[in-house]
Amino acid sequence: MYNQAALSLARNMAYPPADLIGEAPTLTDLFKGVPAETLSGGEAIFWEGDEARQIFDVLEGVLRIYRIMPDGRRAIMGFIYPGDVLGVSFQDRYLFTAEAVTDVKVRRISRGRFFSLVNESPALRPQLFALLCDEMSAAQDQMLLLGRKSAEERVVSFLLAVQRKCGAHKEIELPMSRLDMADYLGVTIETVSRTMTSLSRRGLIHATGRHRVALHKLNTLREIAGRDEEEADAQRAPPMRRAVWPN
């Protein structure tokens, strides 16, 4: 999904590791050689307020990052997918909790190491910057969604975003629960459910399992999502095609 977590940075997954083809290193390369750790669904990597000492590279699985209000209301800021980097921030404490949705494999390095390596590399610096910009861009999409879209528009926007993120296949996976979706979209679980049912009845989607949905009539779906998305999408540069400073 959107990587709008302040600290979840999407990298280019479309190409083989940079050094194999003689290109500049990528942010992911910083984690090379670090042994992977495993978390089961529901486990947290870190909690909101923890000292932010490390940065994580997600290899497998999906995470949710969220903040909770004193009265228990939860807002999910984003879902983190393989290929995202988690925990990048200038604050010295994590601003949200990161929790495994599914079983997850991650690698970690210290913040100090991460930043000094990035700082010393003219190739990595623009990458880090570009990723933060993509984050901000996704965050703004989400603000538009939360501030101005109806429940149906939100759900459809979400489904399309997942589709984009995961290879643009007709059938998509929704590893998160309805509650996760609800807390991400700023609605209730019942509203998510009702909306999905309604979309099904109209033949726009077809649920092939609790966590699996096929998207039909993409044109109609995009229409519903607000149309706004695609344009934005087209504009956004392909992720990290060339990570050089803008001019």
Partner DNA sequence: CGTCACTTTGAAAGCTTTCAATAGGAGTGG
Partner DNA sequence: CCACTCCTATTGAAAGCTTTCAAAGTGACG
Taking the complex as a whole, the smallest distance from the CB of residue 151 to DNA amounts, in Å, to 3
> Judged by CB under 7 A, which stretch of 15-23, 93-101, 150-158, 237-245 contacts DNA?
150-158
State the binding partner of 152 from DNA, a second copy, none, CB within 5 to 8 A by kind.
DNA
Binding-site member from 58, 76, 187, 224 for DNA (CB under 7 A): 187
Kindly identify the residues of this chain, within the stretch 185-214, that bind a second copy according to CB under 8 A: 185-186
CB contact at 8 A, 8 and 80: yes
Query: Residue 207, interface with DNA (CB under 7 A)?
Result: yes
Query: Residue 188, interface with DNA (CB under 7 A)?
Result: yes
Taking the complex as a whole, the smallest distance from the CB of residue 150 to DNA amounts, in Å, to 4
State the binding partner of 151 from a second copy, DNA, none, CB within 5 to 8 A by kind.
DNA
Query: Residue 84, interface with a second copy (CB under 8 A)?
Result: no
Binding-site member from 13, 34, 214, 237 for a second copy (CB under 8 A): 237
Taking the complex as a whole, the smallest distance from the CB of residue 221 to DNA amounts, in Å, to 16
Applying CB under 7 A, which residues contact DNA? 150-152, 177-179, 186-194, 196-197, 207, 209-210
